Structure 1
Amino acid sequence: MEKSNKLLCVINDILLGSLIYLKRKIIRNLYIFMYGLLSSYGAELVHKLASFVNNKRPAMKGTKVIRQASDHGSKPHISRAH
């Protein structure tokens, strides 16, 4: 009777250990999955926010840079148009 009890205890311990291990593995994978989802969603949100902020900014900053770049070119388009 005692031997079978010990065997049951050992089997129980092994089962519990494997269950805990599996649970840890599943939870870890879930955390990684959730973190990946959150980071990709967060990156998308940040990108949308940045583009929204850029669209709200006055357009002068961008046009100045473009004009300077075209002035330094080998064929200045602005002087040809006048």
Structure 2
Amino acid sequence: MSVLENFEDWKGFLHDRVEQARSLGMDNQMIANMAQEIGDYLAQEVHPENGEEKLLKQMWEVSTEEEQQTLANIMVKLVGQTH
């Protein structure tokens, strides 16, 4: 089963990656920039596996670059608070 099939699993995966980045000394801005790059990749290359991912993809596709940065920041914040 892919981590993308279940949104809670996906958030857990992201949480682990954010914590790993922090342990390597990355600050929040660096993590958010990396999250935006990952968001670009996912929106272009990965088929969403559930309703939450479909919504995120749609939001990403209609957003400006600044709005995408905001979405990336929100996702980093979300996974930091939920795990």
- Please give the range of the TM-score, normalised by the shorter of the 2 chains: under 0.3
Q: Which has the larger radius of gyration?
A: 1
Per chain length, whose mean CA-contact separation is higher, i.e. which structure has more relative contact order (CA < 8 Å, sep 6+)? 2
| More helix, by proportion | 1
Give TM-score, length-normalised by structure 1.
0.26
Give TM-score, length-normalised by structure 2.
0.25
